A = this chain, B = another copy of it.
Amino acid sequence: VIVEIVAVGTELLLGQIVNSNVAFIGERLARDGFDVHHQVTVGDNLDRLAETIRTAIGRSGAVVLTGGIGPTQDDLTREALCLVAGVGMARDRAHAEAIRDRITRLRGSVSENTLRMADYPETATPLPNSNGVALGVAMEIEGVHVYAVPGVPGEMSAMVDEEVLPRLREASGEPAVVRSRVIRTWGLGESRVAEILDDLYASANPTVAFLITDSEVKVRITAKAESVAAADAMIDELDAVVASRLAGVVFGRDDETIESIIVTRLQDLGWRIATVEEVTLGTVGSRIAEAAAGTCVYAGTLTVPSGAAVNEGRAAELLGVVDGFLEADVVLAIGGVDRQVTPDDSTRSVGVAVRTPAGTTTDTVALYGGDDRVRRFAAVGALHALRRALA
């Protein structure tokens, strides 16, 4: 099925916000095997919105609209759908009363416009909004499946995952369940991982895809099946193959970030950690502190201006500077950038040192690119050096 994505909102045309919604929806549709040929963004104008919906219906098998279902006069997606389908508007009375009660309690009164969030084209199925108030829409117009979801990202993403994708898969005769698992690796480049897993790309179900964030290469396995258990069993099988081929570089799955893995490990060991940072300006400590919220494992971070020494020497030097000051069992130090400027870009190396009750390790991370990139990649490299030191 070819799906068209329509984003609604004058603020998008004016460039006041970057349209991350269409990227989210596009990624989800691609994951589930749907093709997208056009994404269109149109402003809060009834005629142009209706025309855009007509064009989409004329050339696609399904249409997902995002935005324009809020409470203001500018929110015209519902009206445009009624216009195109030639139907009237219905209201979910119970939901309207719930909105009235809630808003009145909050602000003392409610405007009639606000109650429009309980409206939907009379031939449509209203879609529940698990993160907000406005109802979504699922309807058929001239045999084409049309869905409208909010423009607020958190409401949009939940409604796409919970309501739109399952309906779209069912409508298109796809298996009811699509499950994904991300296998997170660090230490091999994308092209090397691609080589090692080359033959697995031929697999149509489950599929294998790559995602890359900073220096982390993620392998995503997606399976379609009739049940969650069947899909998970298919994923488990391929996961075992990937994990055995990439032994030593797989460090987690799905939401297991490198920070969360480190925090869990420190909790198990009963150790507290401090970081001392030069190049990374405290970003490693702040990532650990966020992951450690509610635990006692984070002891603090010291960021210092650059010193004279480079690499491992400087990192080892920094290990001592918090002694007697921050109470930590483990100290991670990042410091000492060595710049080697090459004709076309610059490569640099950053020293990383880790001291635990079991001993001290030092390491050098080689990086290239601008300051921002070096900072980001040095942070990831240091976190992985720490993970290995705690293993």
Contact = CB atoms under 8 A, between A and B. Distances in A.
A215 interface: no
A177 B298 CA distance: 55
B30 A14 contact: yes
Given A43-B37, A325-B325, A26 B52 contact: no
Interface in A30-59: 30, 36-43, 45, 48, 52
Nearest to A325: B325
A208 B351 CA distance: 49
Interface in A266-295: 281-283, 285-286, 289-290, 293
A304 interface: yes
Interface residues of A, number: 52
Given A106-B344, A303-B300, A37 B30 contact: no
Contacts of A16: 23, 27
Interface in A316-367: 325-326, 343-344
Given A282-B281, A290-B281, A18 B15 contact: no
A381 B294 CA distance: 25
Interface in A141-196: none
Tallying the copies of this chain within the complex gives: 2
B26 A12 contact: yes
A22 interface: yes
A15 B35 CA distance: 12
Contact of A13 (B37, B283, B290, B302): B37
A254 to B, nearest CB: 18
A326 B322 CA distance: 11
User: Interface residues of A: mostly helix, strand, loop or mixed?
Assistant: mixed
A20 interface: yes
A113 B191 CA distance: 21
A24 interface: yes
A19 interface: yes
A321 to B, nearest CB: 9
Contacts of A344: 106
Interface in A94-113: 105-106
A127 to B, nearest CB: 21
Contacts of A20: 18
A207 interface: no
A40 B43 CA distance: 12
A301 B298 contact: no
B22 A19 contact: yes
Contacts of A24: 15
A22 B38 contact: no
A305 interface: yes
Interface of A: 12-20, 22-30, 36-43, 45, 48, 52, 105-106, 281-283, 285-286, 289-290, 293, 298-305, 325-326, 343-344, 371
Given A13-B30, A18-B18, A303-B303, 13 more contacts: A12-B26, A12-B39, A13-B39, A14-B26, A15-B30, A16-B27, A19-B22, A36-B43, A37-B48, A282-B285, A282-B286, A298-B305, A300-B303
